[in-house]
């Protein structure tokens, strides 16, 4: 999301985007059940999706088994106020986010029962990435996220902190998208490390799940469009349609595939970039050989100023409980994951 801060609010530079179509125009089907493995659901995201991945991991720490955070700030950073978004994105040089303040809020929410007990976090693998050329969510904001998880007991063995790649604001996928240092749509780029292309989806998934089978050159599973309205009303900002990538191995009985939730950034939903995120972020290539269902929930742009760019709610446009387990967007995502785990 190309953005800058004006009067403390998120303001995104206007530009034209061609919204490609995913699949046919027919009405989306109900989300199928695949009998996915319980207790193996993980999450990752870019930018607003990364802020939401942090929220999901912290609020649902008993259920979410690990998180990948690409250019995202610490939990509850905006404190329910969009005017603090610039601080949370590292745009205010002399005033970075405070991990200690965010830890205090998280502990208070856990004590009240609004989120899961924080003791679960010590057992959760966390991957955090910040590109040195990211001009949108700057490195100091992401460094605060690393410190936040450290203070809540995530040790060095479980915390992967990648902050030395000359990347802009993007997910990094081999051979895909923009040059490494770009901060531009579709927010998918390619970067090399030691002469080898960096595979961020692979780095995230292997940190969260351990050693995996190699990625495939060409995914052969199916992208299923499904109706999100049974999970989230239009007032939540969520789109009519979400997507799930289903490897062939996950369609057989008793496959017990694991679920990974991949969250797009602002102006990166299917409404804005077509299938570029769902098929080009790199997750599907790892899914086929590793029995992974990849869930791609979607947020659309809307007429409300606080969600004009299709961002996940990390500052409170859906209500003051946006970072609690009762938050409408997080409840919807978790209900989708539970649906995937039901017997087919």
With 60 as the cut, is the pLDDT of residue 3 above it? no
Active site residue 47: yes
Asked if residues 60 and 325 have their Cβ atoms less than 8 Å apart, the reply is yes
* Residues 111/160/63/119 CA torsion (nearest 10 deg): -30
Asked if residues 289 and 248 have their Cβ atoms less than 8 Å apart, the reply is no
Asked if residues 312 and 273 have their Cβ atoms less than 8 Å apart, the reply is no
With 80 as the cut, is the pLDDT of residue 212 above it? yes
Q: What is the mean pLDDT of the chain?
A: 92
Domain boundaries, the chain: 27-341
CB neighbour list of residue 190: distance below 8 Å, 6 or more residues apart: 172, 173, 174, 175, 176, 177, 178, 179, 180, 197, 198
With 60 as the cut, is the pLDDT of residue 4 above it? no
Lowest mean pLDDT among 7-21, 54-68, 169-183: 7-21
- For residue 200, with 0-12 CB atoms within 10 Å meaning exposed, 13-18 middle and 19 or more buried, which class applies? buried
For residue 93, the model assigns a pLDDT of 86
The predicted-structure confidence for 78-135, as pLDDT tens digits, reads as follows: 999 999 999 999 999 889 999 999 999 999 999 999 999 999 999 999 999 999 999 9
Lowest mean pLDDT among 2-6, 14-18, 284-288: 14-18
CB neighbour list of residue 1: distance below 8 Å, 6 or more residues apart: 12, 47, 48, 136, 169, 187, 265, 266, 267, 268, 309, 311
With 90 as the cut, is the pLDDT of residue 30 above it? yes
Task: Out of 116, 120, 130, 134, pick the active-site residue.
Answer: 134
Distance between CA atoms of residues 205 and 110, nearest Å: 27
Active site residue 163: no
The predicted-structure confidence for 290-309, as pLDDT tens digits, reads as follows: 999 999 999 999 766 678 89
Joined tokens for residue 85: 């978004």
Distance between CA atoms of residues 213 and 239, nearest Å: 33
The predicted-structure confidence for 42-91, as pLDDT tens digits, reads as follows: 999 999 999 999 999 999 999 999 999 999 999 999 999 999 999 999 99
Active site residue 116: no
Lowest mean pLDDT among 6-20, 39-53, 131-145, 202-216: 6-20
Task: Out of 44, 47, 130, 189, pick the active-site residue.
Answer: 47
- For residue 39, with 0-12 CB atoms within 10 Å meaning exposed, 13-18 middle and 19 or more buried, which class applies? exposed
State in Å, rounded, how far the first CA of the chain is from the last one.
37
CB neighbour list of residue 9: distance below 8 Å, 6 or more residues apart: 82, 83, 85, 86
């Amino acid at each position: 999301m190309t953005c800058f801060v004006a009067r403390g609010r998120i303001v995104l530079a206007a530009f034209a985007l061609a919204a490609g179509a995913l699949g046919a125009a027919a009405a989306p089907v109900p989300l199928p059940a695949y009998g996915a493995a319980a207790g193996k659901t993980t999450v990752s995201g870019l930018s607003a999706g990364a802020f939401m991945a942090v929220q999901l991991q912290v609020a649902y720490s008993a259920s979410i088994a690990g998180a990948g955070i690409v250019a995202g700030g610490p939990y509850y950073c905006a404190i329910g106020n969009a005017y603090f978004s610039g601080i949370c994105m590292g745009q205010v040089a002399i005033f970075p986010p405070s991990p200690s303040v965010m830890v205090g809020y998280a502990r208070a929410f856990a004590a009240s029962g609004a989120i899961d007990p924080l003791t679960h976090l010590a057992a959760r693998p966390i991957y955090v990435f910040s590109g040195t050329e990211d001009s949108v969510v700057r490195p100091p904001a992401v460094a605060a996220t690393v410190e936040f998880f450290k203070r809540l007991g995530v040790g060095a063995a479980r915390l992967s902190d990648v902050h030395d790649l000359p990347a802009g604001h993007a997910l990094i996928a081999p051979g895909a998208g923009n040059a490494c240092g770009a901060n531009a749509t579709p927010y998918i780029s390619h970067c090399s490390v030691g002469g080898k292309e960096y595979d961020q989806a692979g780095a995230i998934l292997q940190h969260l799940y351990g050693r995996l089978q190699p990625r495939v050159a060409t995914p052969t599973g199916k992208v299923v469009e499904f109706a999100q309205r049974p999970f989230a009303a239009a007032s939540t900002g969520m789109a009519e349609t979400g997507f799930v990538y289903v490897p062939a191995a996950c369609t057989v009985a008793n496959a017990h595939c694991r679920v990974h939730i991949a969250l797009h950034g602002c102006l990166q939903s299917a409404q804005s970039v077509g299938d570029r995120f769902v098929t080009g972020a790199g997750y599907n290539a790892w899914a086929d050989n590793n029995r992974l269902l990849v869930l791609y929930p979607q947020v659309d742009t809307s007429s409300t100023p606080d969600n004009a760019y299709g961002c996940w709610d990390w500052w409170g446009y859906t209500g003051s409980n946006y970072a609690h387990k009762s938050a409408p967007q997080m409840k919807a995502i978790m209900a989708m994951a539970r649906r995937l785990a039901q017997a087919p």
